[in-house]
């Protein structure tokens, strides 16, 4: 199986030993505590689950600036985005303290992790601007970039040091059938006997074009298996809830993929909307969970028109050093049903087509149809998938 990023073995930071976990939970009751941001909480979940291997905790100022500028830590580890615990004020916390990190996303704010504070440093306004520019470029200076806004509203005080993760926030309880750690996915890939595995990320139900893109990737790469990996982080207004997405995707896999060829899973993280840099981060996740290949299509991890359509593909060719990652990228164009060829194709592979030769529907149009109990055309969505989505929209009227 493919090695994790940066180490021979996966080193998740979740405390699996029940006695140690319980002892740390009790110890946390008497520790100084801070309420972390949603982004910091998501980082803890990803560290605990092994997706951020080989990191051992939150980055210090020097590492964060080095990663933002050069995509490597001060020790030379390739890494695409800073992984930080930012706060407005460290209060009475001192270097050398062990502190409890409280979860902002769960009622009662339970302790998510304990942290040994190795440094307390403050970023200047220029530091924050530099990281925003480098990570969210090329249009981070424009108004309304949600990733930049979220990054710059957490605070400028950086608490760094190793952590031990005690739970997986709301992801394991709210999505028990879908949330999986990198450890669990690696184990299942091994159990299934897969050697060559392609991963597909989604935060939406999969329509026919997505399904066929996965088939294309599997066929062209001669893969044993596909891991459909759903982002389970916070939803935007209008997003379809994860359980509904899960049902729709599982129905598609059940009916249209051979047995033992596809896994439906999810992971707990908030979108950064960092375009190319986030595309690289997503590749790190998938290598750590055991995938050998990762599909990146148009506008991957983008928002609005802040990035070029293929920037998240170009960065692997132009900025990721050779050998930095073992996982390989499957570059995909927009896929759509061709009326001429009577099948789904990548639009770049049909140069004799005009826009009118494809079945193209906007997300707004599809939601409108589903909300009115109208199934999208079979060239766009499998009828069994459309029914699940129509039933959901009917339930919220």
Q: Is 356 left (phi over 0), alpha (psi -120 to 50) or beta?
A: alpha
Q: Which of 6-20, 137-151, 204-218, 383-397 has the lowest mean pLDDT?
A: 137-151
First-last CA distance in the chain: 47
Q: What pLDDT does 363 receive?
A: 77
Q: Once rounded to an integer, what is the mean pLDDT over residues 274-286?
A: 96
d(CA 236, CA 333): 25
213, 297 in Cβ contact below 8 A?
yes
pLDDT band at 299 (very low <50, low <70, confident <90, very high): confident
Domains of the chain (ranges; CATH) run 18-169 (3.10.400.10), 178-267+327-395 (3.40.50.620)
Of these residues, 192, 203, 250, 367, which one is catalytic?
203
pLDDT band at 346 (very low <50, low <70, confident <90, very high): very high
pLDDT at 379 over 70: yes
pLDDT at 61 over 80: yes
Question: b vs e for 76-103, b when ≥16 Cβ sit within 10 Å of the residue's Cβ?
Answer: ebbbbbbbbbbbeebeebeeebebbbbb
Which pLDDT tens digit goes with each residue over 115-163?
999 999 999 999 999 999 999 975 545 667 888 999 999 999 999 999 9
In percent, the amount of the chain with pLDDT more than 90 equals 83
Of these residues, 11, 204, 250, 367, which one is catalytic?
204
pLDDT at 315 over 70: yes
pLDDT at 362 over 70: yes
Judging by DSSP bridges, how do beta strands 225-231 and 197-202 pair with one another?
Answer: parallel
Question: For the whole model, what pTM was predicted?
Answer: 0.94
Q: Is 204 marked active-site?
A: yes
pLDDT band at 235 (very low <50, low <70, confident <90, very high): low
Q: Is 152 marked active-site?
A: no
Longest dimension (CA), the chain: 69
pLDDT at 378 over 70: yes
């Amino acid at each position: 199986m493919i090695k994790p990023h940066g180490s021979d073995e996966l080193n998740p930071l979740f405390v699996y030993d029940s006695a140690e976990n319980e002892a740390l939970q009790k110890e946390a009751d008497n520790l100084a505590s801070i309420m972390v941001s949603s982004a910091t909480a998501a980082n803890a979940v990803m560290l605990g689950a092994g997706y951020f291997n080989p990191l051992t905790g939150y980055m210090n100022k020097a590492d964060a600036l080095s990663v933002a500028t050069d995509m490597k830590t001060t020790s030379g580890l390739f890494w695409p985005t800073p992984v930080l615990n930012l706060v407005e004020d460290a209060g009475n916390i001192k270097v050398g303290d062990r502190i409890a990190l409280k979860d902002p996303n769960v009622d009662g704010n339970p302790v998510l992790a304990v942290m040994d504070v190795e440094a307390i440093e403050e970023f200047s306004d220029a530091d924050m601007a530099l990281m925003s520019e480098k990570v969210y470029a090329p249009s981070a200076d424009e108004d309304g970039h949600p990733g930049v806004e979220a990054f710059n509203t957490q605070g400028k005080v950086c608490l760094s040091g190793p952590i031990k993760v005690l739970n997986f926030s709301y992801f394991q309880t709210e999505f028990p059938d879908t949330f999986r750690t990198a450890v669990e996915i690696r184990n299942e890939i091994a159990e299934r006997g897969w050697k060559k595995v392609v991963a597909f990320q989604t935060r939406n139900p999969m329509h026919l074009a997505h399904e066929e893109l996965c088939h294309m990737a599997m066929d062209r790469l001669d893969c044993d298996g596909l891991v459909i990996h759903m982002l389970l982080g916070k939803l935007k207004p209008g997003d379809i809830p994860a359980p509904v997405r899960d049902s729709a995707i599982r129905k598609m896999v059940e009916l249209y993929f051979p047995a033992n060829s596809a896994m439906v899973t999810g992971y707990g993280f908030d979108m950064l909307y960092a375009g190319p840099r986030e595309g690289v981060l997503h590749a790190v996740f998938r290598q750590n969970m055991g995938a050998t290949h990762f599909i990146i299509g148009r506008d991957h991890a983008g928002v609005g028109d802040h990035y070029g359509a293929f920037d998240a593909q170009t960065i692997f060719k132009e900025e990721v050093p050779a050998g930095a990652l073992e996982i390989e990228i499957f570059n995909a164009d927009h896929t759509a049903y061709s009326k001429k060829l009577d099948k789904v194709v990548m639009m770049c592979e049909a140069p004799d087509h005009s826009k009118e030769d494809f079945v193209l529907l906007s997300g707004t149009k599809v939601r409108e149809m589903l909300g009115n109990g109208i199934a999208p055309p079979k060239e766009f969505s499998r009828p069994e998938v459309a029914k699940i989505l129509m039933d959901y929209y009917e339930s919220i009227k």
